[in-house]
A and B are shown apart, each in its own frame.
Chain A
Amino acid sequence: MLDYLVSLSVFAGLYGLLALGLNLVWGLGGMVNLGLAGLFAIGAYASALAELRLHLALPAAAIFAALLAAGAGALLAAVTARLKGDYLAIVTLGFAEVIQLLAANEIWLTNGTDGLPAIPAPGRGRLSSFHFDIASTSVVWLAVILVSLLLWRLSQAPYGRVLRAIREDETVAAVAGKRVLAFKVSAFAAGSAVMGLAGSLYAAYTGYVAPDSFDVLVTLLVVLALTAGGLGSMAGAVLGAILVVVLTEGTRFLGGLLPGLSALQVASLRQGMIGVFLLLLLRFRPEGILPERMRRHHLED
């Protein structure tokens, strides 16, 4: 049981990183980015290929993956700069689909739908699987802590204030002399770098990447994590990620509690419960569990 919980904590950390990256782009910058599965995939493939083909060590591969994802994110942001809300959401969702199709069809690079197996990670094979999981969870959670501190600092800095201003009203920010496009592109790139890093750690931990790993499900779970935790708050993003893993995995044990249901009924019930949870949350606590704290300055009359 402990092995299982440790391995879940690795996944919780990975979702946490994705939620943090999304929080910078969406929570602070107000850009709905549903392309995160694509950026996650770019990170995972870049890191896997850097390790397998270029024989880079994992830390170098992770940096490479983050930079590549940042580049892709910046490009995506520059192309979609004029889009907002639903339109931006659809285009970024399309971006993720394109990346998944590329991964499935550019066989010379990605090995197609067979995926890339045997991705090395320091310690795999030498350590027992339990110790490897402990090491993985330490690395992943160290990354979560560092990234959340960094992003929290960034959100408190003037840079974060400008992003929030752009989120609330782009025109006002532009009138105030802020270079809106540069801020949007740089925030998107930074958020994408975090997602790329998550992809790299995912590839190293599971040792296998395939196009199927990066379908819309990942995006939905991370959006759920961020909405549940509290859009705009770094602690909320991490808490939301933990909650999502507890919810998706905890419901696995329902089957034992509800005898008489077929496997399909339990599987459908699990997915239904996750939906119901999100609905209830949005009804009773739309701002999330740990909402963003706004410092308000009262003006004297």
Chain B
Amino acid sequence: MTARISRRTALAGSLALPFLARTGEAAASIPLGAINPLTGAGGAYGPSMAKVAKALVERINRTGGVIGRSIALDVEDDQTNPTVGVEAARKLIDVEKVVAIVGTWASAVTTAVAPLCWDSHTMLFCVSGADSITRLPHHGYIIRTQPNTYLQSGRAAEFLLRHGCRRVSGLSAQTPFAVDSWNRLKAVLGQGGAEGVGDIIYDAKQTSFRSEIDSTLAAKPDTLFLNSYAPDLEILLRESYQAGFAGQRFTFAYAATDAVLKALPAPVTNGLWSFAPSPDVASPAYKAVQAILGISDPDPYSCQIYDHVALVALAIGKAGVASGVAIHDNVRRISQGPGQHVSDPVEGLRLLAAGKEINYDGASGPCHFTPSGDILSCKFLFQVAENRHNKTLSIS
């Protein structure tokens, strides 16, 4: 009698194989998960984030690991989609039993994954911007290294005040953060003796904003706050110039792209201010990220995930125990406070092993967190357009 394996059986068997074949990792290693947008809308950032996280984990493992154990990093793709993100988080939490998940990018993915994390006492480190994330009932299980709208708009308003702007009008594309940003900007301007004179929210897909610009200019602003994306910014700059507006214009760096500056004549764009949260370019940790990626200007998210991995390792080093709860209880003890300033996680681990207190300053900034998990401050890059190029004004 011969055993017969039909094509169907063979197919079923080969499909089941991946579930059975588990990689044989040392029992002693600490499982750590990363959920990155390797493909989909965030695909421009995910691969370099994964590379940075892997490189730092390898370096920590080469230099003796954490509390005598190595870290086993599992990077999962979320396809920039919340449902896929939840499936990835399920695998990391239920199968790999990770102590923390680092590097969630899209706000929707972070929001979808967060309840799984706080239910299972897994720490979640994210780079998502939506203000609503840290307002979730996360019991301290979320840390966010990306500045929220509140912090960004406050710093934008301070910049405008420093440069003598007194009457600021807003033109904002319809986004979840449009209203929050304007309210915060207006409040800080008010404290500094300036005022916000009218905000218009527009649909970014329009091909002309002439009526929006006319009603904005009727309030006689000296500055326009353009909360835009690149395509609508281009139209707004051209049409406000044609309408005879000669005051200051302020926008986000992701809108004032080189393509926009190239598409318009220099007189239209000259003097356009733009700003973005900036990694701490003077930090040794930033230089480490540069070295890992082999480029001179790593994106902010790659810098942030470097800090995520560093914070996880240091919090475990401080606690002496590898668990989500231990990271939750110790992350602020190694990131802020009176300890010795360190920017190299490996050196930090050595100091912790010697019983010293440390204060980690990372590639993305000082890594000081509020009780709700937001960063207290970070550096911002301010630039001005001159002859179709952005020139750095300051990083502060």
Instruction: State the majority secondary structure of interface residues on A.
Output: helix
User: In the complex, what distance in Å separates the CA atom of A118 from the CA atom of B91?
Assistant: 22
Known: A208-B82, A263-B47, A270-B77. A250 touches B19 (CB 8 A): yes
Chain B residues, CB < 8 A from A118 = 115, 136-137
Contacts of B21 in A (CB 8 A): 253, 256-257
8 Å CB contacts to B: which residues of A104-146? 105, 107, 112-115, 117-118, 129
Judge if A194 is at the interface, Cβ distance under 8 Å: no
Tell me whether A115 and B108 are in contact (CB under 8 A): yes
Is A180 at the interface (CB under 8 A from chain B)? no
Separation of A268 and B39 alpha carbons in the complex (Å)? 8
A256 to B115, CA, bound (A): 27
Q: Smallest CB–CB gap between A42 and chain B, Å?
A: 16
Of the residues A8, A207, A212, A257, contact of B90 by C-beta under 8 Å: A8
* List of B residues within 8 angstroms of A255 by Cβ: 74-75
Within 8 Å CB of A11, what residues of B? 83, 87
CB-defined contacts of B18 to chain A, threshold 8 Å: 250-254, 257
Question: A7 to B86, alpha carbons, bound, how many Å?
Answer: 10
A247 at the interface (CB under 8 A from B): yes
Instruction: Tell me if A206 counts as interface (CB < 8 A to partner B).
Output: yes
User: What is the distance, in angstroms, from B137's C-beta to the closest C-beta of chain A?
Assistant: 8
Q: How far is the CB of A283 from chain B (nearest CB, A)?
A: 13
Q: Which residue of A lies closest to B7 (CB)?
A: A284
- Nearest A residue (CB) for B84: A217
Question: Within residues 56 to 87 of chain B, which ones have a CB less than 8 A from any CB in chain A?
Answer: 74-77, 79-84, 86-87
In this complex, the interface size class of chain A, counting residues with CB under 8 Å from chain B, is 35 or more
Q: In the bound complex, how far is the Cα of B40 from the Cα of A213, in angstroms?
A: 13
A176, CB-defined interface residue at 8 Å: no
**Which of A105, A206, A250, A266 is in CB contact (< 8 Å) with B83?**
A206
> Would you call A107 and B90 a contact (CB within 8 A)?
no
Distance in angstroms between the alpha carbons of A94 and B114 in the assembled complex: 31
User: Whose C-beta in chain A lies nearest to the C-beta of B14?
Assistant: A250
Whether the Cβ atoms of A210 and B94 lie closer than 8 Å is no
B319 CB-CB contact with A under 8 Å: no
**Any A CB within 8 A of the CB of B187:** no
Interface residue ranges of B166-202 to A (CB < 8 Å): 174-176
Smallest CB-CB separation from A259: which chain B residue? B23
A117 touches B75 (CB 8 A): no
Question: Is B119's CB under 8 angstroms from A129's CB?
Answer: yes
What's the least CB distance linking A229 to chain B, in Å?
Answer: 13
CB contacts (< 8 Å) of A4 on chain B: these are 90-91, 94-95
Is the C-beta of B340 less than 8 angstroms from some C-beta in chain A?
Answer: no
**Contacting residues, chain A, for B106 (C-beta < 8 A):** 212
In the complex, are the beta carbons of B111 and A114 less than 8 A apart? yes
The answer, yes or no, to whether A249 is at the interface (CB within 8 Å) is yes
B112 interface residue (CB < 8 Å to A): yes
Our pick among B50, B75, B108, B137 for the contact of A210 (Cβ within 8 Å) is B108
B51 & A262 in contact (Cβ 8 Å cutoff): yes
State whether the Cβ of B22 lies closer than 8 Å to any Cβ in chain A.
yes
List of A residues within 8 angstroms of B36 by Cβ = 263
Verify if A246 is at the interface (C-beta below 8 Å from B).
yes
Chain B residues contacting A263 (CB-CB under 8 Å) are 36, 38, 46-47, 50-51, 54, 75, 77
* Bound form: Cα–Cα A41–B376 in Å: 37
B270 at the interface (CB under 8 A from A): no
Chain B proximity mask over A218-250: 1 for CB below 8 Å, otherwise 0: 100000000000000000000000010011111
Please, which residue of chain A has its CB at the minimum distance from the CB of B34?
Answer: A263
Q: Contacting A267 at CB < 8 Å: which of B15, B38, B176?
A: B38
Chain B 5-22 against A: per-residue CB contact (8 Å), 1 yes, 0 no?
A: 000100000011111011
CB contact under 8 A between A264 and B83, given known A210-B112, A255-B75? no
Q: Mark B135-160, 1 if CB is under 8 A from A, else 0.
A: 01100000000000000000000000
Given A1-B94, A107-B176: A114 and B132 within 8 A (CB)?
yes
User: 1/0 per residue A141-173: CB within 8 Å of B?
Assistant: 000000000000000000000000000000000
Of A208, A218, A254, which one neighbours B111 at CB under 8 angstroms? A208
Q: Does B30 contact A (CB under 8 A)?
A: no
Q: Is the CB of A252 within 8 A of B76?
A: yes
Q: What residues of chain A lie closer than 8 Å to B94, measured between beta carbons? A: 1, 3-4, 7
Task: Tell me whether B79 and A112 are in contact (CB under 8 A).
Answer: no
A213 engages B82 (CB within 8 Å):
yes
> B85: shortest Cβ distance to chain A, in Å?
9
Question: Does A287 lie at the interface of the complex (its beta carbon under 8 Å from any beta carbon of B)?
Answer: no
In the assembled complex, A215 has its CB within 8 A of some CB on chain B? yes
Is A210's CB under 8 angstroms from B39's CB? no
Contacts of A217 in B (CB 8 A): 79, 81, 84
In the bound assembly, the distance between CA atoms of A268 and B40 in angstroms comes to 11
Report chain A residues within 8 Å CB of B86.
206
Chain B residues with CB under 8 A of A246 = 15-16
In the bound complex, how far is the Cα of B106 from the Cα of A251, in angstroms?
Answer: 23
Most A C-beta atoms less than 10 A away, residue of B17, B21, B87: B87
- Cβ distance B50 to chain A, nearest Cβ, rounded Å: 4
24 contacts across the A-B interface (CB closer than 8 A): A1-B94, A7-B90, A11-B87, A105-B174, A112-B176, A113-B107, A115-B112, A129-B120, A206-B83, A210-B112, A212-B80, A212-B106, A213-B108, A243-B15, A246-B16, A247-B15, A253-B18, A255-B75, A263-B38, A263-B46, A263-B75, A264-B47, A267-B77, A271-B39
The 10 A-B pairs of least Cβ separation, nearest first, read A256-B23, A267-B77, A3-B94, A4-B94, A263-B50, A210-B108, A267-B38, A264-B47, A253-B18, A263-B75
Additional A-B contacts beyond A118-B137, A210-B82 (10; CB < 8 A) = A11-B87, A129-B116, A206-B112, A210-B111, A213-B82, A250-B15, A252-B76, A252-B91, A254-B18, A262-B50
